[in-house]
Amino acid sequence: MVNTLTLILASQSASRQTMLREAGIVFEVITPDINENSVKKVLLAEGKTSCTIADILAELKTSEITTHRPNAIVLGADQLLVCNNILFNKAVDLSQARLTLQNLRGRTHRLISAAVLVKDGRLIWRQIETAEMTMRYFSDAFLDAYLAAEGEALLESVGCYRIEGAGAQLFENISGDCFTIRGLPLIALLEALRENGVLVR
């Protein structure tokens, strides 16, 4: 399916790239140079809500790219995980992934997925969607086997799971859109791309 305008994804997320490709969207990938954890700390210190932080990060990712590619539409996206009022960061290794999953085990957490479209430095669309995820109280033996089977692929997700894979076994209840859980409010995005001439209606 051919786009009518160039779309650039300002994200290195494999999950977002997969969703866009599977939806038949043609796009380029340019990874923004942003220290997300540092930005989060500043915004938290300013008292920003988790939804606002996700939205600001999504837009921030587009700023550098849209300057150099003014005729393209740039898609920025971000996802945050909040549990017991704590904002989680991505694990840097499997030891941290274990700690993340131990902290989420038996609890409900919230995923916040924000996305923006920017053209010529102007914001033309934004969307924030949330999902609630309740992890079952799995055994340490299950956790060991899960970490061994999934390996470093877990480090790509802030929650250390792929809901479209074995990560589904971690949960006892899920409330929310599957695309939002994977990191992109895709259905709303597709409509925005049609409205802004990237996709044919």
Distance spanning both ends of the chain, measured CA to CA: 12
Task: Kindly state the helix (H) or strand (E) to which residue 133 belongs, with its residue range.
Answer: strand 122-135
CA-nearest of 28, 77, 23 to 187 is: 23
Cα-based angle 86, 134, 18 (whole degrees, multiple of 5): 85
Burial class of residue 192 (count of CB atoms within 10 Å of its CB; 0-12, 13-18, 19+): buried
Annotate 1-16 with b (16+ C-beta within 10 A) or e (fewer): eebeeebbbbbebebb
| Identity of the amino acid at 159 | G
Residues 55/128, Cβ–Cβ less than 8 Å: yes
Residue 78 appears among annotated catalytic residues: yes
In this structure, what DSSP letter does residue 85 have? T
Give the active site residue among 78, 93, 144, 177: 78
**Catalytic residues, which ones?**
78
